[in-house]
Structure 1
Amino acid sequence: MIIDTHQHFWQYNPVKHDWIDDEMALIRRDFLPQDLKPIYKEHGIAGCIAVQADHTLTENTFLLNLASEYDFIKGIIGWIDFKSDAVQADIDYYSEMPLMKGYRHVVQGETDNSFLLRKPFLNGISKLKYTKAVYEILVFSHQLPAVLEFVKLFPEQQFVIDHIAKPYIKEGYIDSWALLMCAIAKHENVSCKISGMITEADYKTWKTKDLMPYIDVVLEAFGPQRIVYGSDWPVCLVAGSYAQVLNVAREFSGQLSEEESELFFYKNAQRIYNI
C-alpha cells in the first residue's frame, strides 16, 4: 500500500497562482481529482493528503469539499492566518473537521527569513498544542536556521518538513543543508517528506543518482520512522511524470527492510495524519 502525502488540486487562476512561472507553463491549467484518480489506479496508490496552494480560507473549503466527494483523499493540509486575532476561532472551527489534518504557510515565499520566529506567528502556532493538527514547514534551504530555532520552541507539536527543505540539487550544494537537517532531526517531533526533489534538480537532465545523496542524508537524520513519501503532483510534471517520481521512491526503498519500506510508504503517514 502507498499513501501519497503531498499533492495539490487547483482551478488555475493566473493571479492566484502567479508562482507558476514561464518555466512551469505546463501546469498552467486545472488539476482536479478526476485527473489524479486514474494515475493512482495505475500505480496502486491507496490515498493522498491534499495540500493547500493558496493562502485563503476559501482554499480550505475547496479542498474539504473535494475530500468529502473523493474517498481517496484521506485528508487535507489547509491554511489559516496564524498572525490573526481570529486564529483561535479558526483553529476551533477546523478542529471539528476530521479531514482537516493540519496547516502550512508558504514560508518559502516570504522575504523575511525570520518569518517563522515573529511573535504573532509563534503565538498562533502555540495554540495548536490543544489539537492533533500537524504543522507543515515549507521553506528553502537557506531558511533552515530559522526552522531549527522554530521547532525548538514547540517540542510537543508534530511538524513535517515539505520537500526535504528544498536543497539546491541543481547546483549540487549539500553540506550546509545536511548539517542543518541533521540538527533539526534531533527533535523527534519533526518528520520529513521525501518529495519535491525533481523540481529542485535540473528539470531536463536530472537522474535518480543526483537525488540519492540528499535522500540518504534524510534517512540518516530522521530514520525510517520519520519519513514519508510524497509526489508533489502536479508540480512534479514540469520535471517528470508521476511514474518517474514513484520510481525514485521505490529505488530508494530498495535499501530499506520490508518493515521500513512499509513505514515510509504508508504506516508513518497513517500515524502522522491520523488516517
Structure 2
Amino acid sequence: MVTIDSHQHFWKYDRVQHNWIGDDMAVIRRDFLPEDLAPVLQENNVQGCIAVQAEQSLEETDFLLGLSHQHDFIRGVVGWADLQSPGIERSLEAYAAFPALKGFRHILQGEKKRDLCLQDSFLRGISLLEKYNFSYDILILRDQLQFIPDLVSRFPNQRFVLDHLAKPAIRQRDITEWKRDIRKVAQYENVYCKVSGMVTEADLQNWRIEDIIPYLEVILNAFSAGRTMYGSDWPVCLAAGSYTQVMHVVKSYFSSCTENEQQLFFGKNAIDFYHL
C-alpha cells in the first residue's frame, strides 16, 4: 500500500514570521527541513508527502518548490498567492509551469473578516484555479464552516479539500454545531477532507485516542473513505506527541475499514486529488 502524507510543513524558524507558535508549542520553535522529515517518513513507511504553505508569501512558495526539486519524496506543494490581487492570473499562469505546484491555500482562519472567502475579489481568484488545474486547501476554524457550502457550490468543478477537519473543539469535547456544519459541507462531492491536525486541537499534554474517535466517526460517515486523506501536520503535531503517535491514531481507527478503503485514505485519494 502506498502511503502519502497529504499535509506537512517546512520552515526556517523566524520569531516574527512564526509568532503563531505559542509557548505551549515551544518545542517546534526551530527549523524543520526535509532532512528532518525523511527518516521519520521512512520509519513510518510513508512514501511521499505534500508540503503545505505556512506563510503568506511568494517567497515561501518558491522556497517549498525549491525543496521539492531537491527531494523526490516531496511529491507536491500547496503554496500561496494573493488570490485577491487584480494580477492573480499572471501569477497562476507563471506557477503553472512548475509541475510540483499542485494548489494554493490562504490562511482564512486568521482573517478578521470571517467570510473573506465569499468576497468578490477572493471568489475571482478561486474562479481561475480550475483553468490552471490547481486545487484549493480550505484552512478555517469551525465558526467559518457556515460559509463553505456557499463557496464550494459556486465552483462545482473545482477541487477543494478541508484542512484539519475545520479544527473542531476536541479539547472542549464540543461536537454538535461542528457536526451539523461538516455534514452540510460534505454534501458537495468536489470537497475532500484531510484527517489531520487533530492532536493539536485536543489537550496537548493529555489527549487520548478516545477523545478523537467521535470526530473521526463524523468525518468518515460524512465524507466516506472515498473523500478523506491522511495528513500528519508535521511538525506542528510534535507539540502534542510524535509522528508515530499521530499515525497510530488513524491506523487504529481505519483498521476496521476494508483494504480498499484503507488504500484510498492512506494514499490513493491524495494521489488522485493532487494529481501526483
TM bucket (normalised to shorter chain) is over 0.9
- The alpha-carbon deviation at position 255 of structure 1 amounts to 1.8
Paired with 1:142 and 1:193, the residues of 2 have a C-alpha distance of 18
User: Among the aligned pairs, what percent are the same residue?
Assistant: 47
Letter of the aligned partner of 1:115 in structure 2?
Answer: L
The 5 Å alignment of 1:66-215 reads 66-215=67-216
Paired with 1:230 and 1:127, the residues of 2 have a C-alpha distance of 26
- The alpha-carbon deviation at position 96 of structure 1 amounts to 1.4
- The alpha-carbon deviation at position 178 of structure 1 amounts to 0.8
Q: Deviations over 1:69-123 (max 9, x none)?
A: 0000000000000110110000101111110000000111111111111110001
Letter of the aligned partner of 1:172 in structure 2?
Answer: R
SS at match of 1:213: helix
Instruction: Verify the 8 A CA contact 1:231 1:242 in the aligned structure 2.
Output: yes
Structure 2 residue aligned with 1:54: 55
Q: Deviations over 1:193-230 (max 9, x none)?
A: 00000000000111011101101100000011100000
Greater alpha carbon shift after TM alignment, 250-259 vs 186-195: 250-259
Structure 2 residue aligned with 1:232: 233
Paired with 1:203 and 1:193, the residues of 2 have a C-alpha distance of 20
Structure 2 residue aligned with 1:255: 256
The 5 Å alignment of 1:26-45 reads 26-45=27-46
Root-mean-square deviation (CA, aligned residues, Å) is 0.7
Letter of the aligned partner of 2:246 in structure 1?
Answer: V
Letter of the aligned partner of 1:23 in structure 2?
Answer: D
Instruction: Verify the 8 A CA contact 2:168 2:201 in the aligned structure 1.
Output: yes
Structure 2 residue aligned with 1:13: 14
Structure 2 residue aligned with 1:241: 242
Instruction: Verify the 8 A CA contact 1:148 1:180 in the aligned structure 2.
Output: no
SS at match of 2:105: strand
Q: Which 4+ stretches in 1 moved above 3 angstroms?
A: none
Structure 1 residue aligned with 2:25: 24
Paired with 2:268 and 2:127, the residues of 1 have a C-alpha distance of 27
Structure 2 residue aligned with 1:271: 272
Instruction: Verify the 8 A CA contact 2:149 2:188 in the aligned structure 1.
Output: no
Paired with 1:114 and 1:25, the residues of 2 have a C-alpha distance of 31
Given the two structures, how large is their TM-score scaled by the length of structure 2? Answer: 0.98
How many residue pairs get matched? 275
Instruction: Verify the 8 A CA contact 1:94 1:100 in the aligned structure 2.
Output: yes
Instruction: Verify the 8 A CA contact 1:198 1:236 in the aligned structure 2.
Output: yes
Instruction: Verify the 8 A CA contact 1:225 1:260 in the aligned structure 2.
Output: yes
SS at match of 2:54: coil
Q: Deviations over 1:30-69 (max 9, x none)?
A: 0000000111111111000000010000011100000000
Paired with 2:163 and 2:23, the residues of 1 have a C-alpha distance of 23
SS at match of 1:137: strand
Given the two structures, how large is their TM-score scaled by the length of structure 1? Answer: 0.99
- The alpha-carbon deviation at position 23 of structure 1 amounts to 1.2
The unaligned stretches of length 5 or more in structure 1 are none
SS at match of 1:245: helix
Paired with 1:202 and 1:242, the residues of 2 have a C-alpha distance of 16
- The alpha-carbon deviation at position 152 of structure 1 amounts to 1.4
